[in-house]
Amino acid sequence: MKKYFLILVALLTLTNIISSQDFDAGDLKKRTYIRFGLANPTFSYYGFTDKEDMISEIGYQDRLGGIFEVGTIYPINKLKIAKHLRMGINVDWFALKTHLFKVQNSDLLVNYFVQSKIGLAFSYPPVKLIQVDVYGKASPIWYGGTLLNYPDMDFDEDNFNGYLQFMYSTGINLKLAFIILGFEYEFGNLKLKNANEEFLGNMKNESSKTPMSGLNFSLGVVF
């Protein structure tokens, strides 16, 4: 316990020293990051209204997900919006994401995505080594799918796929030295259909599009 207390004191002291520096941010450098984390699907997935609705309709028991991303932020230093504040282009070159729902009888609803993201980021470094980014992105979904995984599964009927569609996201990053923490909300609807040309659709209406929103919490490194 004493060791952890000393580590905490050291971190607080370092933060205080950094914060007290007279720092003029000037131009920002390009930053590339690799990160991974939790991808938590919302209870509005598939068109449901809330958790109770999902429990009632499909016997929801649990949810889980993960995400991996490689991206770059390119600051446009000529656009000096305000002191220390810069706008830039934020590109996630490659991202993999999965959302899992455990439902009645331990069946699984498996959702998976191969995607990229591109948008604007506003970056603000209040002190040296610390930077905050706020961004909004469009996300090309190169491939997305849903598999209804249960013992008597019929792959032609229960495997739904879609290609070259769009979702969207907004979020915030916190960079501390070479560590980056991220929080992101992704939202949008995809058209997914099986081998029989049937759409997964919306559980509450006749739409051919499936709502697939979620929250991402990530940790990574910057270089």
Whether 138 maps to a domain, the answer reads: yes
What pLDDT is attached to residue 22?
41
Q: What's the pTM?
A: 0.85
Q: Are 209 and 44 in contact (CB under 8 A)?
A: no
Task: Give the model confidence (pLDDT) of 74-115 as tens digits.
Answer: 999 888 888 889 999 999 999 999 999 999 887 999 999 999
- For residue 10, tell me if it sits in a domain: no
Three-state SS for 178? Answer: coil
pLDDT digits (tens, 9 = 90+) for 159-196: 999 999 999 999 999 999 999 999 999 999 999 999 99
Answer yes or no: is 153 within a domain: yes
Q: Considering the domain boundaries, does residue 147 fall inside one?
A: yes
Domain range enclosing 127: 27-222
What is the domain-level CATH number for residue 47?
2.40.128
Residue 1 in any domain: the answer is: no
pLDDT of residue 21 exceeding 70: no
Total number of domains in the chain: 1
Buried b (16+ CB within 10 A) or exposed e, 70-82: bbebebeeeeeee
Identity of the residue numbered 40: N
- Is residue 203 in some structural domain? yes
Is residue 192 one of the residues assigned to a domain? yes
Q: Give dist(CA 52, CA 29) in Å, integer.
A: 47
Residue 12 included in any domain: no
CA distance 49 to 117: 27
